[in-house]
Amino acid sequence: ELHLEESGGGLVQPGGSLRLSCTASDFSVKHYAMHWVRQSPDKGLEWVSGISWSGAKKDYADFVKGRFIISRDNAAKSLFLQMSSLRQEDTALYYCVKDTDPGSVSFYYMDVWGKGTMVTVSS
């Protein structure tokens, strides 16, 4: 059974940067798109960004465009999210999530979720 484990969260000041990482337990993830989804009490679940299996296609929610960069390293079974110009409203639990359609460049539904890493943006 595939497991995903996020790391890199923490407390950061507004305007600061943080890099989230996600490591998968096996190489099956290399065939699938991957996502970052965040959750906060006031905004619920929000899709943040997704990347195709090859890394060729990357998409972002409007509220992070120009500030966050998603990337992946299939050889290392890893997904990343470089976050900069952080705002208080970026405070949330960030989940690494696996998509379900192998080899597709489109995004679908999600079947494997990590436990999340908490990002707190505060002065």
Partner 1 sequence: DIQMTQSPSTLSASVGDRVTITCRASHNISTWLAWYQQKQGQAPKLLIYKTSILEREVSSRFSGSGFGTEFTLTINSLQPDDFATYFCQQYESYVTFGQGTKLDIK
Q: How far is the CB of 13 from partner 1 (least distance, A)?
A: 28
Measured from the CB of residue 16, what is the shortest distance to partner 1 in angstroms?
A: 26
Query: What would the two tokens of residue 2 be?
Result: 């595939």
Closer by beta carbon to partner 1, 65 or else 87: 65
Q: Shortest distance, CB of residue 19 to partner 1, whole angstroms?
A: 21
| Smallest distance from partner 1 to CB 116, Å | 6
Q: Which is nearer to partner 1, 30 or 101 (CB)?
A: 101
* Pick 11 or 45: Cβ nearer partner 1: 45
User: Which residues of the shown chain bind partner 1 in the complex (CB under 8 A)?
Assistant: 35, 37, 44-47, 50, 59, 61-62, 95, 100, 106-111, 113-116
Cβ proximity to partner 1, 44 vs 66, nearer residue:
44
Q: Who's near 77: CB < 8 A, 6+ residues apart?
A: 23, 24, 25, 26, 27, 29, 30
